[in-house]
Amino acid sequence: IKEKENKPLALLEAVIEQQADLITHWMRVGFIHGVMNTDNMALSGETIDYGPCAFMDHFNPETVFSSIDHNGRYSYANQPYIGQWNLARFAESLLPLFHEEKEEAIELAEHSLNSFESIYKQKWLSMMGNKLGFSETDNQVEKLVTELLDWMHRKTADYTNTFRDLSHPVLPNDALYSDKDFIHWKTSWKEVLKVRGMDEKSSFDLMRRVNPAVIPRNHKVEEALQAGEKGNLEPFYQMLRAIEQPYTDNSERKAYQIPPMESERVRQTFCGT
């Protein structure tokens, strides 16, 4: 930024890049911040103000956990759009520094803000391609990603486990993977990997680096909180041990990989937890 002629504008552009990176990683692991007010976003591109945040179990782009978000403003799928909206508010605060002429300042800000969508889309597609073992992406890979997410949504498939399962040569013996639509998708996926000359081992290695085996699932967090309220912190420490190496397979963590039963499902989270 110090080397740029218009340093305030360069700051905005750097923050745009950082926010696009951050939200891409949220989307990668199914994280929902839950309260993306402007004061809860950091210029550094780090996640701050952990309030009603949570991780998604079954894939649904409209997933919301915050008890006060009644209209889905901060849903999983809305996070990039809210990120751009927040960046626009940040840009407004810097307008007098962009240019002494207001109209010129607005034009400069809008030009930079309009780049967010393409920057994020590129990062998102690259990330999703990595989740499927592709080091490079194009329209064909995007089609595979979209089709898989649509199938996961229809089948209420677990977001974390589905991608982690795909990162192994042999899928678990789960009735879900016997679905004819999934079998068709998997065949197409394998064919595209083969046409690209992707080495199977390197693809699986890449997938295991970006698809966590374990996340702090909401019902296990709730279990630890309830035990802690009664003075028993052991479930909390067990959960910490389970998630300290999220990309490593470990049979001891099996309890933290199992999606919640209907009676265990956490539908709302609150500030203060």
Residue 118's CB: how many other CB atoms inside 10 A? 10
From 39, 138, 150, 165, the catalytic residue: 39
Closest CA to 10 of 91, 124, 88, 121: 91
Q: Residue 1, SS3?
A: coil
Q: How far apart are CA 147 and CA 140, in angstroms?
A: 11
Cα dist. 225→50, 222, 233 in Å?
A: 15, 5, 8
39 is an active site residue? yes
What's 32's DSSP letter? E
Cα dihedral 244, 250, 253, 256 sign: positive
Q: Return the active site residues.
A: 39
